[in-house]
Chain A
Amino acid sequence: MCGATTGGVSLEGVDVTKESVIQGVVTRGEQPVGNAYVRLLDRTGEFTAEVPTSVTGQFRFFAAPGEWTLRTLAPRADVVDRRVVAQQGSIAEVNVSI
């Protein structure tokens, strides 16, 4: 994908120094999962945002600094929860296997 950074689609036009980015790829075996949904839950477990994965299995959130949980839902798969810490000005990469 043109301009892609590792694990994510292009961040061109986004001032990453101001953002606390969480991004990654959902895979089943070696294959990216393009029809999964990734939910971002805050430190109390409350829903904050949700995105469908791209055809290449990728997802991204612009969070705030702190602890978050990624909850991944996909057809014919169990729900997968992954903890992640976001920091302003950096990109937290989380790869999810279902």
Chain B
Amino acid sequence: MSRETALVTADWVEQHLDDPKVVIVEVDEDTTAYDKGHIRGAIKLDWTTDLQDQVRRDAVNKDQFAALLSERGVGNEDTVVLYGGNNNWFAAYAYWYFKLYGHQDVKLLDGGRKKWELDSRELVDEVPTREQTTFTAQDQDTDIRAFRDEVVEAIGVKNLIDVRSPDEYAGRLLAPAHLPQEQAQRAGHIPTAGNVPWSKAANDDGTFKSDEELKELYTQAGVDWGKDTIAYCRIGERSSHTWFVLHELLGEQSTKNYDGSWTEYGSLIGVPIVLGDEPGTAS
């Protein structure tokens, strides 16, 4: 993967608004954002109901994902372009989902909804209707998904990148600062994890920094490019943003997203946790 295949500009999207093979999809943390106006022709995915199993705490499974996209009118031959608020956090999470289930022709709108709005580009209220398809999902590609046991074994062995804000990393906050802080689990970070906040990979307008800047960012943070990498955050959406940078923009194929992230790790009994601004040691 590369920037040319994984990312499109707002101009590109405007030029493809009427392209029948391009499906534009909005995914927001604020699930009502779409209803306040969206890119013409865009459909909506709701991460809380469409992309989370409603009983188990897990991603939707292959059959659920296939049924969802079929019902929304997304076909296996379509080019899917994702965008959303919060600098594309949840759009990147959905992007990771499409890759997880084997849909290769998927792209992110650089800058997401924010860049689109700051450019004063058109947003509409009309909700499009798309004919049902028969979308076929592949088995989960676990080369891009990390689970908790693998994360514990990765301490001191693989690159662990905590992409939350410095205050969440250090244990001074338990959640992003636009959310109430009440949580059940412990604060802190996984021992040996470096802190590279997702936001360092993006400009103020939400677009991604250049490949050279991104490579330098993670190199300076101590990432060993010869090792496998696991990115995590609180619930796996900001780390999808960093996974996108490493796996899709920089082509680091041995990069996984730990979608259980801190809400799972910080609730586990007996696992090591480090408080404060330093990564800590593996012992």
A interface vs B, CB < 8 Å?
A: 14-15, 18-19, 35, 37, 39-40, 42, 44, 46-52, 55, 60-64, 71, 73-76, 79
Cross-chain contact B117 with A62 (CB below 8 angstroms)? no
Instruction: State whether A39 touches B204 (Cβ < 8 A).
Output: yes
What count of chain B residues pass the 8 Å CB interface test?
Answer: 29
A24 CB to closest chain B CB, in angstroms?
13
Q: Are B176 and A19 in contact (CB under 8 A)?
A: no
Tell me, yes or no, whether B30 is within 8 Å of chain A by CB: yes
The answer to whether A46 touches B114, judged by C-beta atoms less than 8 angstroms apart, is no
Residues of A within 8 A of B166 (CB): 42, 44, 46, 48
Contacts of A14 in B (CB 8 A): 180
Determine whether the beta carbon of A50 is less than 8 Å from that of B87. Answer: yes
- Contact A73–B204 (Cβ < 8 Å): yes
Contacts of B11 in A (CB 8 A): none
Chain B residues with CB under 8 Å of A76's CB are 120
CA distance A55 to B32 in the complex (A): 12
Q: List 24 A-B contacts (CB under 8 A).
A: A18-B182, A19-B181, A35-B117, A37-B118, A39-B204, A42-B166, A48-B165, A48-B173, A48-B176, A49-B165, A49-B177, A49-B178, A52-B30, A52-B117, A55-B36, A61-B178, A62-B177, A62-B179, A62-B181, A64-B173, A64-B177, A71-B204, A73-B204, A73-B205
Contact A18 B176 (CB under 8 A): no
- Contact of A52 with B85 at beta-carbon distance under 8 Å, contacts A18-B181, A75-B118 already known: yes
Please give 16 more A-B residue pairs, beta carbons under 8 A apart, in addition to A44-B166, A46-B199, A48-B167.
A19-B180, A48-B165, A48-B177, A49-B176, A49-B177, A49-B178, A52-B33, A52-B85, A52-B117, A62-B175, A62-B179, A63-B177, A64-B172, A64-B173, A73-B114, A73-B118
Closest 8 CB pairs of A and B: A47-B199, A49-B177, A49-B178, A48-B165, A75-B120, A61-B177, A51-B178, A49-B176
Please, which residues of chain A bring their CB within 8 A of the CB of B114?
Answer: 37, 52, 73
A79–B165 alpha-carbon span in the complex (Å): 22
- Report if B197 contacts A (CB, 8 A): yes
Q: Tell me the number of A-to-B contacts counted with CB atoms below 8 Å.
A: 72
The answer to whether A40 and B197 have CB atoms under 8 Å apart is no
* Candidates A15, A40, A79; contact of B178 at CB < 8 Å: A40
Residue of B whose beta carbon sits closest to that of A38: B178
- What chain A residues lie within 8 Å of B176 (beta carbons)? 48-49
B86 an interface residue at 8 Å Cβ cutoff? yes
> Chain A residue with minimal CB distance to B89?
A50
